[in-house]
Amino acid sequence: MNSPTDMTSHHRHLEHAREQVVELLSRQALELELLARSSDNRNQDVVAQLTARQHQAALAQRLHRFHPADIAFALESLAPDAREMAWDLVRPERRGAVLLELSDSLRRSLVGSMEPSEISAVVRTLDSDDIADLVSSLPDDLRQAVLEHVDRADQAEVRAVLSFPEDSVGAMMDLDYVSVREDATLEAVHRLLRRKKPLPAHTNELIVVDRNNTLRGVLPLDKLLFEEPELEVSAVMLTQPTYFFTDDRDRDAVDAFEKYDLISAPVLNLHRQVVGRITVDTVIDEINERAQAESLRQVGLSEEDEDLFAPPVQSARKRWPWVALNLLTAFISSRVIDAFEPVIAQLVALATLMPIVASIGGNTGNQTMALVIRGLALNQLGPKQLRTMLLRELAIAGINGAVWGAALGAVTFALYQDWKLACVIGGAMLLELLLAATAGLLIPVVLQRFGRDPIMGSSVMLTATTDSMGFFIFLGLAALVLVHH
């Protein structure tokens, strides 16, 4: 047994160990490459290879002591060649667990490079819901290659889980749970569990079902510890547990876990029969994935672009649709300016000042939009709240537009000694802020109303609106007030 004073704070120790391994693996990969280049010198080669092999054995041992999540972390941090070497060092029986922790893109590339025999070794170590999880992110051909190696019995289960839509509770459920009958005594349950041990991870309660496998309630483990053994399950179980249907949306389950502080909850099919459960670790993964994806989606990127080491050409092409959209909208703004070319020709200062209005509009609109997107995510914006929020954002924009528009006008007057120009820019700023607030609120709301993702590319669309309208408002006002026709 370990003495407790030998323990170091787990995560600090770990962070250090992880960095060391990443460092060692990178160096090792470099050495192997140098070795390959200097392969003309035969003698040296043999010695060097022996040393390399010793190093590798030591590294493999180190990796073996890591949690799969930490191995995954190390793999993500490594450049492709070191990554391949490290993957070879991971023992076959642990590869499944590591694959589950990896990002989609890296998982795809590693599975793609595996031999059929390796795949079958990996699949043997996983539960059917984990296999479903693993293959759900793979392209069709790889998916087939993996599924071929799954046992007949498991295959039915895997295909069942795969048949649920990606954003449903069914797709995130765990098939591994313990159920007991309501007319059993606690003593009988106790005996059953002793035979089944260990319990599946995150089992804080047993699911109570009737003869037809219909949900009757749940039996928390501590009841089993505390209540008299001769009592029946039905006498001590909780009869109103939170539960979900396979076709519920995954975000509803996540919300319920957050709110009611759940550890696990049963999942039912449409006949109200228990088919699985959701556990809190899956929920945490889901929350994280969602949060990470959000900031990327706002600028038009997807999770696909995740791997820092994917070839740049591939990543560049993935960004093309948004660059194209952006170019198009920028061109529209440019045409707006073009319409006012004669005005600008009369007063070049307008060209100098017009980006100020557009820029402030973009940033203010982004503030409103961040608040709206959060409100939508929290389910806090009904029609009534939206109206309140619009009025509120307009009021804020009005106040800021008046105050800072006046300031901007004053500075402009100081620079150009032209009070008409000062009024135009101040007025344009006020109008632009009002418009930016409206656009910042409407863009995500309208996207969602039409069943689209309210976040995807919202930032690009907002900038397009605030830019073109900013130029239009400023130059339009200038044409009205300043220019002699």
| Shortest spacing between CB 149 and its own copies, in angstroms | 26
* SS3 letters across 25-55: HHHHHHHHHHHHHCCCCHHHHHHHHHHHHHH
Contact 96, 125 (CB under 8 A): yes
Rounded distance, CA 420 to CA 337, Å?
20
Stretch of 28-36, 84-92, 152-160, 299-307 lying at the interface with its own copies (CB under 8 A):
299-307
Contact 110, 87 (CB under 8 A): yes
Residue partners of 370: CB distance under 8 A and separation at least 6 = none
Q: How many C-beta neighbours within 10 Å does residue 446 have?
A: 12
Q: How many residues bind its own copies (CB under 8 A)?
A: 147
Rounded distance, CA 29 to CA 84, Å?
9
Contact 214, 192 (CB under 8 A): no
Please report whether residue 158 would count as binding its own copies according to CB under 8 A: no
Does residue 75 sit in helix, strand or coil? helix
Give 188 or 287: the residue with its C-beta nearer to its own copies.
Answer: 287
Sole binder of its own copies in the list 121, 202, 376, 427 (CB under 8 A): 202
Please report whether residue 450 would count as binding its own copies according to CB under 8 A: no
Stretch of 47-55, 56-64, 105-113, 346-354 lying at the interface with its own copies (CB under 8 A):
346-354
Please report whether residue 271 would count as binding its own copies according to CB under 8 A: no
Give 7 or 47: the residue with its C-beta nearer to its own copies.
Answer: 7
Sole binder of its own copies in the list 56, 128, 298, 438 (CB under 8 A): 298
Rounded distance, CA 332 to CA 341, Å?
14
Give 114 or 177: the residue with its C-beta nearer to its own copies.
Answer: 177
Rounded distance, CA 457 to CA 443, Å?
10
Rounded to the nearest angstrom, the gap between the alpha carbon of residue 96 and the centroid of all alpha carbons in its chain is: 21
Residues 353-412 binding its own copies (CB under 8 A) are 353-356, 358-360, 362-364, 366-367, 370-371, 373-375, 377-380, 382, 384-385, 388-389, 392, 395-396, 399-400, 403-404, 407-408, 411
Please report whether residue 177 would count as binding its own copies according to CB under 8 A: no
Rounded distance, CA 259 to CA 484, Å?
64
Q: How many C-beta neighbours within 10 Å does residue 150 have?
A: 22
Give 58 or 201: the residue with its C-beta nearer to its own copies.
Answer: 201
Stretch of 105-113, 137-145, 151-159, 209-217 lying at the interface with its own copies (CB under 8 A):
209-217
Give 328 or 481: the residue with its C-beta nearer to its own copies.
Answer: 328
Does residue 193 sit in helix, strand or coil? helix
Please report whether residue 465 would count as binding its own copies according to CB under 8 A: no
Please report whether residue 471 would count as binding its own copies according to CB under 8 A: yes
Contact 189, 206 (CB under 8 A): yes
Rounded distance, CA 355 to CA 302, Å?
30
Give 70 or 154: the residue with its C-beta nearer to its own copies.
Answer: 70
- Binding-site string for its own copies from residue 108 to residue 137, where x marks contact by CB under 8 A and - marks none: ------------------------------
Give 45 or 227: the residue with its C-beta nearer to its own copies.
Answer: 227
Residues 244-263 binding its own copies (CB under 8 A) are 244-245, 248, 252-253, 255-261, 263
Give 137 or 264: the residue with its C-beta nearer to its own copies.
Answer: 264
| Shortest spacing between CB 106 and its own copies, in angstroms | 12
Residues 10-49 binding its own copies (CB under 8 A) are 10-12, 15, 19, 22, 26
Stretch of 27-35, 145-153, 160-168, 340-348 lying at the interface with its own copies (CB under 8 A):
340-348
Sole binder of its own copies in the list 53, 67, 91, 420 (CB under 8 A): 67
Give 85 or 193: the residue with its C-beta nearer to its own copies.
Answer: 193
Residues 220-239 binding its own copies (CB under 8 A) are 221-222, 224-226, 234, 239
Structure tokens at 292: 């990470």
Buried/exposed code over 111-134 (b: 16+ C-beta within 10 A; e: otherwise): beebeeeebebbbeebbbbbbbbb
Please report whether residue 66 would count as binding its own copies according to CB under 8 A: no
Give 19 or 148: the residue with its C-beta nearer to its own copies.
Answer: 19
Give 114 or 350: the residue with its C-beta nearer to its own copies.
Answer: 350
Does residue 232 sit in helix, strand or coil? strand
Sole binder of its own copies in the list 327, 410, 446, 481 (CB under 8 A): 327
Rounded distance, CA 378 to CA 282, Å?
20
Sole binder of its own copies in the list 35, 85, 121, 460 (CB under 8 A): 460
Q: Which long-range contacts (CB under 8 A, 24 or more apart) does 280-288 make?
A: 280/202, 281/201, 281/202, 282/172, 282/174, 283/253, 283/254, 283/257, 283/258, 286/172, 286/250, 286/254, 287/254, 287/258
- Binding-site string for its own copies from residue 411 to residue 440, where x marks contact by CB under 8 A and - marks none: x-----------------------------
Beta strand extents in 306-465 (DSSP E only): none
| Shortest spacing between CB 56 and its own copies, in angstroms | 21
The single-letter code of the amino acid at 431 is: L
